Amino acid sequence: MSSWVNRMVGAARLNPATYEEVEADKTANVQALGVVLLSALATGFSLAEGGGRAIGVGIVGGLVGWILWSSLTWLIGTKLLPTPDTSADIGELLRTTGFAATPGIVRILGGVPVIGFLFNFIAAVWMLAAFVVAVRQALDYKSTGRAIAVCVVGWLVWFATIAWMALLVGASVAGLEILQGGHAQGM
């Protein structure tokens, strides 16, 4: 069995064998969670202008995003767009996609003035490529195109859900402001 760091390096190199190893190792759940936390911390530190709250948002956002997008991808990949060879449980996909967060550690440099945005962009593209490899391996796809399609559909559903929730929260806040404004005027 490879070490955690060796697995992270293999995942960052988009090595399919690393993803296969992680997929098969049911004890790698904590390692995958650790990778997601490191990536989320790096994201939080890149937003350090926001103080401790930014780090908290980075961690919570990273964990929730990982679980939601991976779960949606698993549902879409195993129920809507499976191949005859597709066989995966949610744990396999969470482990592989957790390690796919490894390139996100580069985001720690996202707070560098003037060029920080480049590190964030590189990390985002690299993580997306890693996520595609993770999905391809976990869902036993022979086609990278199918893995890309499943990832895109999962992301679109995830994004639509987040946008819908944001609209609901925004409408709720606006409604409260109207009620409070109306109540204050009536006094």
- The CA distance from 151 to 179, in Å, is 42
Contact 100, 130 (CB under 8 A): yes
Residue 111, pLDDT score: 84
> Which two tokens mark 180?
């409070």
Q: What is the pTM of this model?
A: 0.84
- Cα–Cα distance for residue pair 122/171, rounded to 1 Å: 35
**pLDDT for the residue numbered 187:** 47
- Which range (58-62, 68-72, 130-134) has the least confidence? 58-62
pLDDT at 171 over 80: no
- Single-letter amino acid, residue 182: G
80-108 pLDDT tens trace: 999 999 989 999 999 999 999 999 999 99
What is the pLDDT, as a whole number, of residue 175? 67
Q: To 10 degrees, the CA torsion angle through 60, 162, 11, 82?
A: 140
Report whether 106 contacts 123 (CB < 8 A).
Answer: yes
* Rounded distance between C-alpha atoms, residue 16 and residue 168, angstroms: 40
* Average pLDDT of span 26-33: 96
Give the least confident one: 51-60, 70-79, 133-142. Answer: 51-60
Report the percentage of the chain scoring pLDDT > 70: 87
